[in-house]
């Protein structure tokens, strides 16, 4: 763009200087008419015709590429709900909810329906295309399709407060069979082993209001935790560059509270906190 507009600028300035230098008036009426016509045909017809054709030659294919993907091929719907400051992803057809972790099947059209209950955020997976503004009171959708498997990073792309920089999420694009395996594993209720009964009971009474663990609690407001032990991100992006365990997250809460990443101090007797954390660490591992 810079080189193209430099070219346009130089050309316009050149013509301008040329016009200023060229003194003299038309020799006669006939000459004036010819000059006049030359400008109309050259500047009014040929120039726009050539430039518009050139722009459309590039623009039409580009427009096709950014159009919505085929509306007929039954997309997988994912609701992306941006909170201050974490991500909630719901798969309404699969009855799965995750936090800060988006799992997608490769080669399938995904319809992201983005919303926000608090302030304006923006959904962005740089490797999968453009941003979607998430505006309170609105649902903005966009279709995307991953063409190869792998892990990538998503990021909130609209400044939304002190926790904005931490508002990242992990994306895993899986083969269809692996996605199905993940889906089935995630739909199973968590079975609490004998040795974890006390921890699960404590979790139920202290954390169950806000957090859901399939088969154990049904809370709302806080991140879903059914597979929290297997997640690479805890506390959204707070652990960037370093693996944060659930226990560290729970005991290091003053820091999270300070920057607003946590809503609650999760105050509990230390041994109980450790017990709950140890149990949460096992979730999501088969
Ligand atoms: Cu959410 Cu920035």
Non-local (6+) Cβ contacts of 212 within 8 A are: 97, 218, 219, 220, 224, 225, 226
Buried b (16+ CB within 10 A) or exposed e, 55-78: eeeeeeeeeeeeeeeeeeeebbeb
For ligand 1, atom 1: residue with the closest CA? 121
Cα R_g (the chain), whole angstroms = 29
pLDDT confidence bin for 203, thresholds 50/70/90: confident
- Least confident span in 4-13, 56-65, 216-225, 231-240: 231-240
| pLDDT at residue 241 tops 70 | no
Which atom of ligand 1 sits closest to the CA of residue 84? 1
Span 107-151, pLDDT tens digits: 888 989 999 999 999 999 999 887 899 999 999 888 888 999 999
Q: Ligand 1 mean position to 18 CA, how many Å?
A: 52
CA 67, 69, 70, 76 torsion-angle sign: negative
Residue identified by tokens 């089935």 is: 184
35 or 153: which leads in pLDDT: 153
Measured from the CA of 116, which atom of ligand 1 is nearest? 1
Phi/psi for 277 (5° steps) reads: -60, -45
User: Partners of 105 in the beta sheet?
Assistant: 174
**Ligand 1 geometric centre to CA of 230 (Å):** 24
Q: How many CB atoms are closer than 10 A to CB 95?
A: 11
169 CA to centre of own chain: 8
Tell me the per-residue pLDDT of 14-36, one tens digit each, with 9 for 90 and over.
989 988 886 667 778 888 888 88
Say how many Å lie between the CA of residue 80 and the centre of ligand 1: 13
**Which protein residues are within 6 Å of ligand 1, measured from CB?**
82, 85, 121, 156, 158-160, 164, 167
């Amino acid at each position: 763009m810079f080189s193209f507009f430099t070219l346009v600028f130089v050309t316009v300035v050149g013509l301008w200087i040329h016009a200023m230098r060229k003194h003299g008036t038309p020799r006669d009426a006939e000459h004036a008419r010819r000059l006049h016509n030359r400008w109309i045909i050259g500047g009014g017809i040929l120039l726009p015709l050539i430039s518009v054709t050139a722009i459309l030659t590039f623009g039409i294919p580009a427009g096709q590429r950014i159009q919505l993907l085929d509306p007929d091929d039954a997309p997988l719907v994912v609701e992306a709900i941006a909170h201050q400051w974490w991500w909630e992803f719901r798969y309404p057809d699969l009855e799965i909810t995750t936090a800060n972790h988006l799992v997608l099947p490769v080669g399938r059209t995904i319809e992201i329906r983005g919303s926000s209950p608090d302030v304006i955020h923006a959904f962005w997976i740089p490797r999968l295309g453009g941003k979607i503004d998430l505006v309170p009171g609105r649902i903005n959708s966009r279709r995307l399709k991953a063409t190869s498997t792998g892990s990538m990073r998503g990021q909130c792309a609209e400044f939304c407060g002190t926790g904005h920089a931490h508002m990242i999420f992990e994306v895993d694009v899986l083969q269809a069979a692996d996605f199905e395996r993940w889906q089935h594993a995630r739909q199973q209720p968590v079975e609490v082993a004998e040795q974890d009964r006390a921890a699960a009971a404590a979790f139920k009474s202290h954390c169950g209001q806000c957090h859901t663990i399939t088969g154990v609690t049904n809370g709302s407001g806080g991140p879903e935790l059914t597979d929290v032990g297997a997640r690479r991100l805890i506390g959204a992006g707070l652990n960037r560059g370093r693996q944060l365990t659930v226990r560290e997250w729970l005991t290091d809460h003053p820091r999270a509270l300070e920057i607003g990443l946590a809503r609650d101090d999760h105050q509990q007797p230390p041994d109980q906190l450790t017990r709950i954390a140890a149990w949460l660490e096992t979730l999501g591992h088969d």
